[in-house]
Structure formats: C-alpha cells, structure tokens
Amino acid sequence: METQEQIKEMVKKKYSEIALQDKQTNGASCCGSGCCSAEADNIMNEDYSSLKGYNPEADLGLGCGLPTQFAQIKPGDTVIDLGSGAGNDCFIARTEVGETGKVIGIDFSPAMVDKARGNAEKRGLHNVEFRLGDIEKLPIGSGMADVVVSNCVLNLVPNKDGVFKEIFRVLKPGGHFSISDIVLLGGLPEKMQGTAEMYSGCVAGAVQKQAYLELMASNGFTNIIIQKEKAIVVPDDILRPFLSAEEWSAFQQSGDGIFSITVYAEKPTACCGPECCN
C-alpha cells in the first residue's frame, strides 16, 4: 500500500510526462493516463474552443469540466487555479478578470509550470502568474483570493481534506470556488483502485460523491451547489486489462458509476474558520 507521499510522487512523475504529450494522446485516455482508447477520442475533457481566451497550446485535454464557465468571475478579481497544468483555465479566467485582476496558477510539476509560463510569455500577459507548489500547502497568503477554480485535480490528491482547508484559508470572506472533479457512485473493483495508471488517470483516486460534498461542508463552506453533473463512460478497452472476465461482468452489472461534477461553494462572510461554521 503506497503512502500519501508515494502517491503524490507517482502522480507528479506522470504529469511531468504528460506535459510532453499532445492533446490527442491525452484526450483519448483517462486524463492523460496513457491507457489510450481506440474506442473514443475523448473520455472526460470538454470543449473549451468557444470560450474567450482559449489557447490551444495550453489545452492538454486533461480536464473533466469547464469550471471557469461557472465560476462567476468578475473584473478585478484575484483567481487561483489549483493544478493549473499548461495554463488553459488560467487564460480563460484572465479574460474575465481583465486588466485590473490577477490569475495565479499553482502546479507541483516543474514541467507543467515551465510550459504554462512559456504560454503566458507568448501571449504577453502581465497579470497571469504560475507558481510551483503543492495544493495541500499553497504558496499563497491567507484571504487573497476572490475565486478558486480547479479542473480534475483534487481527485488525484490523497489528502483532500487538507486541500479544502487550504482553499478556505486562501479565500477572502465571501469568496467562492468552482471545481470540476471526478466522483463515484458505488464502488470500483480493487484492481482498478490499486493501479497506478488509473490513479494518475483520475479514476481510482476519486471518492464517493456524498463524501466529497461532506468534506466541503465540514471545512466551513456554505451554499454548496452542483452546477453540472455528467456520467463518464470509460471505454471497455481501457478497463478490461485490469479486470478478469468475471470481475468485468460484475462491474458492468453493478450499476456503479463514475461522474464528473462541477461544484460551487462559498466561504461565509463572517466566520473565523471551519470550527465556527459547522
């Protein structure tokens, strides 16, 4: 059984490799896991191309939603993107905050940060910044952000409770987040849960939907709203290598499922911390 640090190092290594892959390779897998499918061109990622600020070079096909579309970002806001990758969501958010706002992307893969900084330099953006850091210990001061966004990242983190505590800390009172992520209804076969490729590909690191929402509430967030939800159908040719025929049949008949959700929640305007908001 891997420790939390071992899992994080595994994910970091994988996403450093993904930074060098093209969008087509990533889009035909579980968030770039490398377990490419011949049955589908895109499993989880949604189409950003119609959104203002879209930069094809920054879109690695790793997301599972469009959190910036739902994030209610206003001109002048400070927005933090957790697990910013090559900068796709940051560049979309930049069009919303305008010249008077600021966008900060955080990623723990040096290769991803380098790629994002290069994309920002090409676009000449002075108010988009990318920082190397762990989202369980954000390199951000307390109460700095108006909005936090994240796209298919928290499910990869073993200590999800710690991430929500950090989101609460960096948000201003009255600030909010919009997060797209992968959750489960029911269970996944044990072999899938323990497989490194599936973990770094978004699926086996996911938790139950209700437990995910309860983590938000227990950390002091209010007005928790599911903004969008869709079922994720993982192609047979990705799952079959991990399961026997009997396990495969049982999984197909179980009714269990993998879902992408985009969730909104607020930090209360008058609250000293999670302990006084429960």
Amino acid (1-letter code) at residue 218: S
**Topology given in CATH for the domain delimited by 4-276:** Rossmann fold (3.40.50)
Distance CA 261, CA 182 (A): 6
Nearest residue to 35 (alpha-carbon basis) of 240, 214, 174: 240
Q: Which of the 8 DSSP states describes residue 86? A: T
Beta-bridge partners for 232: 258
Least confident of 79-83, 101-105, 123-127, 176-180: 123-127
CB neighbours (10 Å) of residue 197?
19
**pLDDT on residue 192:** 66
**pLDDT on residue 196:** 46
**pLDDT on residue 193:** 61
For 194-237, what is each residue's pLDDT tens digit?
554 554 455 667 889 999 999 999 999 999 999 999 887 766 76
End-to-end CA distance of the chain: 33
For 45-71, what is each residue's pLDDT tens digit?
677 877 888 787 888 777 888 999 999
* pTM assigned to the model: 0.82
- Residue whose token pair is 């762990």: 134
Q: Pairing relation of β-strands 145-151 and 78-82?
A: parallel
Amino acid (1-letter code) at residue 244: S
Distance CA 191, CA 33 (A): 16
Nearest residue to 24 (alpha-carbon basis) of 48, 4, 43, 8: 43
Q: Which of the 8 DSSP states describes residue 151? A: E
